[in-house]
Structure 1
Amino acid sequence: MPLHGQFVVAVILGRSGSDTADVLAPYDVLASSPDFFVYTIAASAAPAVVDGGMWVVPTHTFGEVAAGAAPTPDLVVVPAVNSPSGPEEAAAREFIVNQYNAGARILGICAGSRLLAASGVLDGLRATSHWSRIAALRTSNPEVSWVTGQRYVQDGRVTTTGGVTSSIPGSLKVIADMAGDAEANRVGESVGYPGLKLDGPTAMPVKVFGFEDAAILMNTAFPWGRPRVAVELKDGVEEIDAAAIFEVYGYSQGATTSALSAKGFVTTKHGLVVKTSILDGATTTVVAGELGAPGSPQGFDAAFEQLSRSSSSSVVQSVSKMIEYPLDRVRQERAPLIAQARTSLLLVLGLLLAVGVGMLPTIILGFVRRRMRARA
């Protein structure tokens, strides 16, 4: 239970599946402050799936809050879920509306704004989302004033963030508003988000898909030959460290990841219970929170460094754009030639297939004409 004076935070876990970093990153940031009591919440007590082959065990259910059996949140964190408008998330939408109407603050993470928009709490407000989602949201939810080029947008009691890792400065802004600038700066220094200044500008370049993203498109369209990366989680792992490796590889589509642990579940630094597959002693793993040299930066820095060992630089740059994480201090390594060549080979294969599909009607028509002449 929360101590006297602590702010209560409920981090929603979607029934249709949630984005790993959207859940774990703000949980880590907010739970790093003793001014906040943070728990996860879902429609049921069953473990909730997040990307990367993990399940998070909810601390409480929506029903427990309604019945007074769980602390009423001062802040509700809303991650991206797979079916924001679907029936699977009806209970989550109702919970969001009820808590907002009761006076709670709302923190929407990345495409979690889709769930917020579907619940109606963004109507008449300014909000943002992942840059790849905003065009569609302007069409589906014109009653919201959608903003581009901002790490986060705050309108009244609602804060929404841009891309995946923008959840970190967005969460720190909420800490500053609720617990003061000094506490937000202290937590920000411990998290170590690159270039973060609490009083600095929130603007960032407006991003669009370009040719430089072709490598990820090819990885998605042609998954053949992807390496498998087994990620081992250990008790006490930082939540951001646990999320980063899955998020980076997930956006790259350059590898298939799996989450493993010795007992099939771990308890993170701030008390999250995460279920995984059981570690096979014969499986070679990378250990979340222990990537790179001892004492080197972990989290997204280490995850990008790990990605650079198995992917081309274009993939690394594109993933950085997708999750809006600066690479200024990331030490990139040179991947083996076969890994670098994979992207080029997939591009050539894609072009050949496109040409082949384009020529297919001509080939078929020519074949038919030859058969007709032969019968004449």
Structure 2
Amino acid sequence: MRTPLLLTLLIIHSPVWADNDHLPPYQARFDRDKPVIAVVGENRMTELVDYLVPFGLLSQAGIAEVVALSTEAGPLHLMPALTIRAQATVEEFQRLYPQGADYLIVPAVHESDDPRLLAFIRSQAKHGATLVGICDGVLALGQAGQLRGRRATGHWYSLQQRREDFPETRWVENRRYVVDGKVMTTSGVSAAIPATLAVVEAIAGAGRAAELGSAIGLADWSPRHDSRQFAFGARDYMTIAGNYAAFWRHETLDVPLQPGLDEAVLALKTDAWARSFRTEVSASAAGPVISRHGLTFLPDVQDSSATPMPGDATSASDALDEAIQSIGERYGLATAELVAAQLEYQPSERSKPEARRNNRDNP
């Protein structure tokens, strides 16, 4: 049986797993049967994988009550594609759970200083929630004042910005995730998968995390990672410019929304295709569609004549592997590597010595 490429990014040489990069075991509060996990998004633009992968996988694990939130009523626009309607607003959640969440998942958002989002983060921290910043959700945690004096990490691209905006934070690289007290932060987009398994381990133990990992094709969710290889070089900028400028080669791919769709699988392959600078991804359905774990997906169009988005993978790890391989076959290796870099993901091509890049700062 082939080893999923997703495993490659977790077994490369990097520092050993520090004890303080384990989330502390969950301690039951308020006589709850299960912990409450809130995943919050900002309506104008929230990162697709950062939001849907933790929601989908934590719901699949069945070890917590997982609630998808938006900062206000109305559609929640995900970037780079798809639109959903969250299960509740932050105000509704606070009325339903006045004692707060046990875990708060904060994805990357376009407006990291959104007042509603920052107020909600501060409120949940005050109630004792463990804060989990996925990718550059760390910027919102920083804006909310939750990183002073802490160790943290984020997407490779934002390193310089993070250093400038939050100098009191100790920025740690070469980690898929970093834990400091009740704050967990992760590196780039694809880190949502191992970080989610780390949350499952904290709540229900390593055995349950391994079961979920087996189901999605991920055997190792340690924080091992080599962020030094990720940066945009001249080739990447040329690929972006060439793909963007050649508008006659652009295409729209259709995602036919089906009831019961797997949120994590859909997010991973859609996110990859939508980052090629060649592709627009559009969702089609006759009306709103309910996903596997109760999210409402809103179509962009009712009917589409566009080419269906390639791929039939049914597990999270296979979905990302399959998408990047298909992008390479369709648009060329340079575009596949560009997509992988944005996702801070390591297909085998990027692990070769000749493909390594060691610029750790913002381009």
TM-score (structure 2 length as normaliser): 0.81
1:242 aligns with 2:262: no
Change (3 A) 1:281 1:230: closer
Give the whole-Å Cα distance in 2 for the aligned partners of 1:233 and 1:321: 28
Cα-to-partner distance string for 1:330-355 (whole Å, 9 max, x where unaligned): xxxxxxxxxxxxxxxxxxxxxxxxxx
2:332 corresponds to: 312
Structure 1 portions without partners, runs of 5+: 330-376
1:203 aligns with 2:231: no
Cα-to-partner distance string for 1:141-194 (whole Å, 9 max, x where unaligned): 11111111211111111111101011111111121112211111111111213x
1:158 aligns with 2:183: yes
Cα-to-partner distance string for 1:219-262 (whole Å, 9 max, x where unaligned): 4652512122122221111112211232112322121221212x
Q: Could you tell me which amino acid in structure 1 is paired with residue 45 of structure 2?
A: G
Aligned residues: 318
Correspondent of 1:125 among 116, 128, 150 = 150
Change (3 A) 1:37 1:66: closer
Q: Secondary structure at the match of 1:277?
A: coil
Q: Secondary structure at the match of 2:231?
A: coil
Correspondent of 1:229 among 236, 246, 253 = 253
Q: Could you tell me which amino acid in structure 2 is paired with residue 276 of structure 1?
A: P
1:327 aligns with 2:347: yes
Contact 1:65 1:71 in 2 (8 A): no
1:44 corresponds to: 72
- In the TM superposition, structure 1's runs of 4+ consecutive aligned residues that sit over 4 Å from their partners are 292-298
Contact 1:151 1:161 in 2 (8 A): yes
1:303 aligns with 2:331: no
Change (3 A) 1:253 1:69: same
TM-score (structure 1 length as normaliser): 0.78
Correspondent of 2:127 among 84, 97, 102 = 102
2:202 corresponds to: 177
1:362 corresponds to: none
Give the whole-Å Cα distance in 1 for the aligned partners of 2:62 and 2:342: 32
Give the whole-Å Cα distance in 2 for the aligned partners of 1:136 and 1:201: 23
1:17 corresponds to: 45
2:84 corresponds to: 56
Instruction: Kindly state the Cα deviation for residue 285 of structure 1 after the two structures are TM-superposed.
Output: 2.0
Contact 1:268 1:274 in 2 (8 A): yes
Cα-to-partner distance string for 1:79-133 (whole Å, 9 max, x where unaligned): 1111112xxx211111111111111011111011111111111111111110000
Correspondent of 1:35 among 48, 59, 63 = 63
Q: Secondary structure at the match of 1:229?
A: strand
1:286 corresponds to: 309
Change (3 A) 1:79 1:229: same
Change (3 A) 1:285 1:43: same
Instruction: Kindly state the Cα deviation for residue 52 of structure 1 after the two structures are TM-superposed.
Output: 4.4
Give the whole-Å Cα distance in 2 for the aligned partners of 1:293 and 1:75: 30
Change (3 A) 1:44 1:231: same
Instruction: Kindly state the Cα deviation for residue 69 of structure 1 after the two structures are TM-superposed.
Output: 5.9
Give the whole-Å Cα distance in 1 for the aligned partners of 2:213 and 2:313: 23
Q: Could you tell me which amino acid in structure 2 is paired with residue 133 of structure 1?
A: S
Give the whole-Å Cα distance in 2 for the aligned partners of 1:243 and 1:296: 9
Give the whole-Å Cα distance in 2 for the aligned partners of 1:98 and 1:297: 34
Contact 1:219 1:254 in 2 (8 A): no
Identity %: 26
Instruction: Kindly state the Cα deviation for residue 279 of structure 1 after the two structures are TM-superposed.
Output: 3.4
1:276 aligns with 2:304: no
Q: Could you tell me which amino acid in structure 1 is paired with residue 294 of structure 2?
A: G
1:214 aligns with 2:234: no
Give the whole-Å Cα distance in 2 for the aligned partners of 1:296 and 1:72: 30
Instruction: Kindly state the Cα deviation for residue 292 of structure 1 after the two structures are TM-superposed.
Output: 4.4
Instruction: Kindly state the Cα deviation for residue 302 of structure 1 after the two structures are TM-superposed.
Output: 2.4
Q: Secondary structure at the match of 1:49?
A: strand
Instruction: Kindly state the Cα deviation for residue 66 of structure 1 after the two structures are TM-superposed.
Output: 2.8
1:357 corresponds to: none
Change (3 A) 1:22 1:297: closer
Give the whole-Å Cα distance in 2 for the aligned partners of 1:34 and 1:55: 25
Change (3 A) 1:254 1:279: same
Instruction: Kindly state the Cα deviation for residue 42 of structure 1 after the two structures are TM-superposed.
Output: 1.8
1:191 aligns with 2:202: no
Q: Could you tell me which amino acid in structure 1 is paired with residue 164 of structure 2?
A: T
Q: Secondary structure at the match of 1:32?
A: helix
Q: Could you tell me which amino acid in structure 1 is paired with residue 124 of structure 2?
A: Q
Q: Could you tell me which amino acid in structure 1 is paired with residue 159 of structure 2?
A: I
